[in-house]
Structure 1
Amino acid sequence: MKPALTRGIVAVRADASGDPKTIFANLQKAFEEFKSENNDRIAALAKGQEDVVKAEKVDRINAAVGDLQSAFEAQATEIAALKLGGGGTKTGPVDAEYTDAFRAHFRKGEVQANLNKGADAEGGYLAPVEWDRTITDKLIEVSPMRQIAMVQPISGSGFSKLFNNRETASGWVGETAARPETGTPTFGRMTYTPGEIYANPAATQQLLDDSEISLETWLANEVEAEFSYQEGVAFVAGDGVNKPAGFLTYAVGAANAAAHPWGAIPTAVAASGTAVTSDELIDLVYSLPGQASQNARFTMNRNTIATVRKLKDGQGNYLWQPSFQAGQPQTVLAYPVTEMAAMPDISLNAMPIGFGDFRRGYLIVDRMGIRVLRDPFSNKPYVHFYTTKRVGGGLLNPEVLRVLKMAAA
C-alpha cells in the first residue's frame, strides 16, 4: 500500500481499489495538491532556490495522480464491460454441438466424431465462436491500440488496400474551347500480412476436471495477458517481420518511412533530447489538418505523461487535466490521452509522443479463428494449451498522424 499524501486536512490515497466515486474524488484532490506543490517548486526555481525535498514531494504526488487516474480508467472500463455483457436475454452458443465437443476435448482429450471444425494433422482445433469472441473482447478491453485503431477481420492470408494517389487534374475552359486530356489518377497498394502470435497456458488435469470452472473465461484470462503484451509492442514499434509493423516505424526517417504510397508520418523535432516544452506540444497539435483533429488523441507512456503533467501554457494553465467523469479519459490540451506502455521514454532521438486520429491512421487485421492445440504430454502433470492467433497491422493514412521526435543530441 502506498503511503497517504497529506496536505492540511486532505488525505489522498493512491489506491487502485474501491468505489469509482471515491477514486474520482481522490484524483481531483491529488491533482489540486500537485498543482499547488508544483507551483511552489516553479516559484522557488525562478528565484534560484532549488528545493530537493520539494521536488521529491512533487514527484511523489505526481506518481499518485498517475496511479489514481489509471485506477479510475480501469474502473470505468470494467463497468463498461459489465454493461456490454449484462444486457439482453442469454441464448445458447451459436455452434452448440461443436462447443460441447470442444469442451470434452479440452477437459479429457476426447476426440469425438463431430469435433472436426478446423482440425489439422497436429491435433489443433479452432476455438468455438463464443470462445473466440471471449478472447477477442478481452483483448479489446486491455489493448490500448485495439481501442483506438481500425480493426479489420479477414478470412484469407492477408489484406490488400488500394490508395488513390489523387493526381486527377482539372482546368477552366470557355464554352467552345478545346478540352485537352487531363492527368489520370494512379493507385498505390498496401498489403497487411498477419503474423502468428501464440500463448501456451497450462493447467493441471484436476483443475480441468472441476466442473465449476468456466473454460472460456480461464482460457481468455490466460491468453490475453501474453497476447496483449506482444500486440502492444508490435503495434507501436514492430518491424513487420512475422508481426505487425508499428506506427512509429512509418515516421520520417524510420524503417518503413517509404512503405506507404502517401509517404511517411510527419514528425516534429523537439529542441532538446531530454525535455518537452508546452510550445512543442501545441505546435504538434496544430500541425495536424483540421479535418483530422476532431477524433485526435495523444499516445505516450506513463513516464512521459508524468513529465507532461508538469507543463503549463502561456496563461499558467496546466496542459494535462484528469478525468472529470466516468468514461472520459485524461486529456492534454483538451485532447484524450491513451497510455501505451510500449511508447518509448523521453530520450535522445526517441519518439515518445504520437498524436492524431488513430482510427483513420492505423489498421489492425485479425485472421479469423483462434486455434488451440491440447498437449498433455510435454510437462506432466500439466496440460498445455498451445493457442495461436494470426494478427497483422500497419499504417493506414499518414496524413492524420503526427509524431514528436526528440533531438539527437
Structure 2
Amino acid sequence: MFKKLLELRQQKAAKVAEMRALLDNAEKEGKELTEEEKGKFDTLKELVQKMSEEIERYETVADEERSQVGKPAETRSKQFTNEELRHYIKTGELRSTLSTTTGEDGGYTVIPQLDTEVMKRLTDDSVMRQICNVVRLPVGAKEYKKLVSAGGAVVEHGQEGVARNGTNAPKLNEVTIALNPIFAYPKTTQEILDFSSIDVLGWLTDEISESFTETEESDLTLGDGDKKSKGLLAYTRSTDGDKTRTFGQLQKMEVASADKITADNLIDLFYMLHSKYRKNAVWVMSSTIAAMLQKLKNKNGDFIWRDGLTADAPATLLGRPVHFLETLPASGANKPVLAFGDFKRGYFIVDHETGVRTRPDNITEPGFYKVHTDKYLGGGVVDSNAIKLIETLA
C-alpha cells in the first residue's frame, strides 16, 4: 500500500517538474507557450489530476488502516496493564502485542496506547497544533511536498461558435517540509518501579508530553530550519503586498514598539489579509501583548477586545479568536510580536507514521531506568499570503 502510494507521489512530482520546465523555458525566453507546448502542458495537467485522484483514494484507505498497523484484530482495542508496561521498562522485553520497529537506528517499540495519549496531550497543550494544519506522512516518506499556486492563471470569456485561444497557466511553487527527530529522556529510580504503585502510562505521558510540547512550540515558532523545523518567525518578512512580494516571504506591518500598537493598526492588519483567509483567521500573541491590547478602544470609545462568553471560549479581537503563544516575542527591535491569519492554510505541521517510539535504558546510569523516546517533526509555511505580522522597530 505505502510503496504504491510513494510511487504515485514520485510519478506525480516528475510530471509536475515537466510542467514547471515548460513554464520556466518560456519565461526565460520571454515568450508565451507555443501551441505544441500548451498541448503538452494540458496533457501533463490531466495526468497530474488523475494521479492526484488516485493518490487521494490510496490515502483514504491508508488513513483507515493507519491505526491498525502491526496489531492483530483481536488486540486492537487492548489497553496494556500497568504491570506489562512496568515489565517493559525494567527488562526491555517486548510483548507480542506491542508494535515494534527495527530500523537502521536500532530497535524501538511503539506502544499505541502511549502514542495516542501523548499525541492527544500535544494537541491539547500546543497552540501551534491547535491552529495549524497537521499532516501525517506514511512509512518511507522523509519529507512533505506541496505545490502552491502563486497566481497568474488567466480566465477569458468565450462565445459560442468562436475559436478559443489558450490561456496562461498558473505559476506553481513547490514547498518542501523536512522531518527531524525530537526526543525526551524520562527517568525514574529502580526503587520506585519496584515498590510503588506508579501509573507507568500516566508517568510516561506526563514526562514526554511536557518535553515535546515545549520543544515543538519553540521549533515551530523560532526554529531556524537547521536540523529542526523552520519556525514561523524564521521566514523573511517584507512590507510588500501579496502581488509584489517574493513567494515565501511573509507580509509585515511595522510599528515603533509594542506599546505603540493602536486599534487602527489592528484594523489595518485585519484588512491586509485577503477576505478568503479572514473567515478562518485567528490572532496569535503572547500574554504580555494581550494585556496591552485589551485596553485599546476604537474611535467610538468601545473596547475592541471581547472576553469569551463561556469558561473555555477564546477571547476575540475584531470578531476573530485570540490564541496565546508564549514563544512569540513581547518586545525587541525587528521582532514580530503579533500574528493574524488563517494558519490552517498558512502553516503545516508534519508528523510521521512511526509515531512516538520508545527504547528502555537501564545501563548508562546505574540505579535509574530511563526511556529514550522520540518522534519525527516537521513544520513550515505553505501559503505565505495567509499570515500577516506586526513587527516592532525598537
Structure 1 residues 146 and 291: CA distance shift in structure 2, 3 A: same
Q: Contact conserved, 2:306 with 2:315, CA < 8 A, in 1?
A: yes
Match of 1:105 among 84, 88, 107: 88
Instruction: Describe the shift of the 1:261–1:158 C-alpha distance in structure 2 as closer, same or farther (beyond 3 A).
Output: farther
Matched, 1:390 2:388: no
Query: What's 2:184 paired with?
Result: 199
Alignment of 1:216-365 (within 5 A): 216-253=201-238, 262-272=247-257, 275-365=260-350
2 CA distance for matches of 1:277 and 1:211?
56
Task: Report the counterpart of residue 135 of structure 2 in structure 1.
Answer: 152
Alpha-carbon distance change, 318 to 116 in structure 1, aligned in 2, over 3 angstroms:
closer
Q: Secondary structure at the match of 1:404?
A: strand
Q: Which amino acid aligns with 1:150?
A: N
Instruction: String of CA shifts for 1:38-93, please: whole Å, max 9, x gaps.
Output: xxxxxxxxxxxxxxxxxxxxxxxxxxxxxxxxxxxxxxxxxxxxxxxxxxxxx996
What's the offset of the Cα at 1:386?
Answer: 1.1
SS of residue matched to 1:351 = strand
Q: How many residues align?
A: 314
Report the Cα offset of residue 271 of structure 1: 4.2
TM-score scaled by structure 1? 0.69
8 Å CA contact 2:154–2:167 kept in 1: the answer is yes
1:207 Cα offset (Å): 2.3
Cα-to-partner distance string for 1:330-357 (whole Å, 9 max, x where unaligned): 2222321110110011232210000011
Q: Does 1:405 align with 2:387?
A: no
Question: Which digits, 9 at most, give the CA deviation of each residue in 1:114-147, with x for residues without a partner?
Answer: 7672035776423221211111001111111111
Could you tell me the TM-score, scaled by structure 2's length? 0.72
Closer, same or farther: CA 127–208 of 1 in aligned 2, 3 Å: farther
Cα distance per residue 1:125-170 (max 9 Å; x no partner): 2322121111100111111111111111112211111223333323
1:375 to 361, 380, 386: 361
Tell me the residue number matched to 1:169.
154
C-alpha distance in 2, partners of 1:141/1:93? 27
Are 2:123 and 1:140 equivalent residues in the alignment?
yes
CA RMSD of aligned residues (A): 2.9
Measure how far apart 1:280 and its partner are.
0.6
Partner of 2:76: 94
> Any unmatched runs of 5+ in structure 2?
1-72
Question: How far, CA to CA, are the matches of 1:93 and 1:305 in structure 2?
Answer: 48
Does structure 1 retain, via aligned residues, the 8 Å contact 2:85–2:200?
Answer: no
| 1:193-241 deviation per Cα after TM superposition (whole angstroms, max 9, x unaligned) | 1111111110112322357433222111001111111111111121111
Q: Distance in 2 between matches of 1:116 and 1:137?
A: 19
The sequence identity of aligned pairs, in percent, is 29
